[in-house]
Structure 1
């Protein structure tokens, strides 16, 4: 019995030892991923830092102290090549910043002065090339930053091919060249998405080549960290998601399946924050649906900075849930009585027994006006269904004639009403309307169906509305 106990004790010790050794080896950084960076700086500073290429310096690859003699020496562990911005910090202020390319296993040496950065050691030629190349590419695209002209896509494609040809003729590290080629693609895609986002046209006005570009650009390509080398890559992602949501997907949560497949954890964090921000500020699903979606997405967040931003969005979500609780599905719709375009007094109660589609708008609202052709089209298609289309304008009473003239000129159909007190109307408070246009659906019993319905231009609008009408 004693021998058996001793054997079990020994076996237990061996198991614990194996576990501890395994954990110990797992916690050791992989030397193949180690990058050594050392050098000297004549620029006064207390810290050397390698950051993501962005105008927001919250995230970095690594940092280490600068000694009194200006020397610095440290190690960074990365799993793939990266473009970053090296910077010298003095008393929390950036005093020098420059591009730096590193890859796993490399050793970098730098001599930094006020006017020059001398690259030494491995990747010397690559970094010297990229320092000049980045400036040329950035300056070459800068003139298109404020463009809304889709014809510029052809010019950007030509610039991309020209720069790839220059790159291919160099005798530089092949892995570096492949990485720069990816960086070039992302850089020019960034400008294209900026153009599309700034143009902000409706779906029907997008040229086919632009639609093809949007469709062919997919999230799985974001597994490469080359995107983090793009000038202000955060704006690139913001424009990318904005365009994808508007023209390809009807709701940001439908991008979730692509999101979970993104391999780069930092990009996934950035995307998670974007999705949560989009969902919260859509102010839909305030019955708890939005919160469940937000919690699901938030579970993927890794970085403390992102979690801090999420805390703020959760507070905002709680505020919205409180503001919209009286407008949730099944709650009585706030009543109203306004004058129509012919001077007749019209009330919501007049339409009891019918579904009501409310369009809250004004004649100075561009996005409102853009929806008019769609509304006219769908009202015609639903003329035999049990639904009334009501447009309620928040234009001021002193502009009533302008509103009437506009309604007649645009041949607007349905019931056209104008609020009695413009933007100060209780209607806007009762329905918690924060922007225009806002679309609302009410059921035949006078109860809320949706306080923030889809835009008529959305491809899901008609089937969703028809399904509601046919649900009885």
Structure 2
């Protein structure tokens, strides 16, 4: 009996010891006025307070072992690799967030390697948070591009091999990540190179290496470790949904078919997020789409946001009172929807960084010219970030934009934008003389259906 009791006590002691594996992250960010940093991962987000001197410390209950993002601001973020038992200490400067990074403590070798890996890319192409530098990767002709990617892959593997990392699991997954990173670059080459040479119809040669639609999208361990893998399979998933038009299958139908082949709940849940744009005012089966998204998603934040969008869309029916606005007018003061009562209002929600938005400007100008003097106002609402306020004013002037030019008060989080469930731009809306919705997702100026709609309402 005593032996049994001792054995039970020993098992209990071992269990307690296992539960006491502690993961911590701490450090100092010099020269920051921020109040917190954020650790973000798959279905995970945690805000860590920053003291006035830039120090921070927190104990983590990791939902998985793998890659996360450490975010100071949208422009200052970098991935961090975490395992249970890591006790990382970070030192960096706010004004040079990534390049001044260094780690000590348990887990330092893996994360210092990631910094060096990033520097390999930046040594050739520059800071990758700058879109122009990203485009440098894809600006070369096909064979030069492939040679550069092969060299980059070789250098990364050499950097990994020569590191002091003893973590065999990390080494195995990182070797796979390097291969996938190269494949991700190859997958993105055609559209990015086409953009660089101003040829949207550009296609690679038949021998150009790329991932097929049958690429393994069910590798959960790689998904947790590799952001490249997450990006790659997300792109393949969207290609499956949208690349080949089908009369009997919608993009949502094709997405659901693919999801049903994936056994990993985490991957299935993340890929589901690519389908949320199918739940829109043009969709005939909005209830079915909502149920499908809820079926596969295990992300509570996404589920709450999607439910809110669904409930908002259901309210945006023809004849309902329109959500209102009262925003800064480029000519001074503010302009509200209420002040335009008595006229039809055609609204363009756009931003200076949005290519498709800019592409609609010539057609919008033509429509404005044709309907000048009629009972309709053309209102353009910019949802640019506040820091780009001057950029907005400059573009309005340079492109000689007409109509009523307004600047929303809180970009994507502006009340008007949220109440119209806008998650993609450009977005066009037609409101009647009483401030009621005619069409919450109206045709674009370049679409002949717009004039048909305007004719229907008597314009």
Using structure 1 for the length normalisation, give the TM-score: 0.49
Bigger Rg, which one:
1
